[in-house]
Amino acid sequence: MHRRGVGAGAIAKKKLAEARYKERGNVLAEDQIVQMSKQLETFKSNLEEFASKHKQEIRKNSQFRVQFQEMCATIGVDPLASGKGFWSEMLGVGDFYYELGVQIIEVCLALKHRNGGLITLDELHQRVLKGRGKYAQDVSQDDLMRAIKKLKVMGSGFGMIPVGGSYLVQSVPAELNMDHTVVLQLAEKKGFVTVSEIKDSLKWEKERACHVLDHLLKEGLAWLDSQAAEEAQYWLPALFSELTSRDVTPEEANQMTP
Partner 1 sequence: MDRFSWSNGLLEINETLVIQQRGVRLYDGDDKAKLDVGVALLSTHRLIWRDVKNHECCIAMPLSQILLFEEQAAGIGKSAKIVIHLQATPANKEPGPYQHSKYSFIKLSFKEHGQIEFYRRLTEEMTRKRWENTPASQPIPIGTGSQAGRTRAVGIVGIERKIEEKRKETDKNISEAFEDLSKLMVKAKEMVELSRSIANKIKDKQFGLRSYLLSMGIADPVTRETHGSGTHYHMQLAKQLDDMLQAPLEERGGMMALTEVYCLVNRARGMELLSPEDLVNACKMFESLKLPLRLRVFDSGVMVVQLQSHSEEEMIASALDNVSDKGSLTAEEFAKLLGLSVLLSKERLLLAEKMGHLCRDDSVEGLRFYPNLF
Within 8 A by CB and 6+ apart from 128, the residues are 100, 103, 104, 107, 139, 144
What's the closest the beta carbon of residue 128 comes to partner 1, in angstroms?
A: 9
Verify binding: residue 52, partner 1, rule CB under 8 A: no
Using the minimum distance from each CB to partner 1, give the nearer residue, 142 or 203.
142
Looking only at residues 115 through 174 of this chain, which bind partner 1 when binding is defined by CB under 8 A?
122, 125-126, 129-130, 132, 134, 136, 138-141, 150-157, 172-173
The closest alpha carbon to 217, from 209, 228, 206, 229, belongs to 209
Contact code string over 82-121 relative to partner 1, x by CB under 8 A: xxxxxxx-----xx--xx-xx--xx-----x---------
Verify binding: residue 228, partner 1, rule CB under 8 A: no
Amino acid at 24: R
Q: Which residues of 133-149 are buried (b: 16+ CB within 10 A; e: fewer)?
A: eeeeeebeeebbebbbe
Amino acid at 50: F
Verify binding: residue 74, partner 1, rule CB under 8 A: yes
Among the listed ranges 42-50, 177-185, 195-203, 250-258, the one in contact with partner 1 (CB under 8 A) is 42-50
Q: Of residues 30, 200, 205, 242, which one binds partner 1 by CB under 8 A?
A: 242
Using the minimum distance from each CB to partner 1, give the nearer residue, 16 or 161.
16
Verify binding: residue 81, partner 1, rule CB under 8 A: yes
Query: Could you tell me if 36 and 69 are in contact, meaning their C-beta atoms sit under 8 angstroms apart?
Result: no
Using the minimum distance from each CB to partner 1, give the nearer residue, 1 or 200.
1
Sign of CA dihedral 196, 202, 203, 209: negative
Residue 199: exposed, middle, or buried by beta-carbon count in 10 A (0-12, 13-18, 19+)? Answer: middle
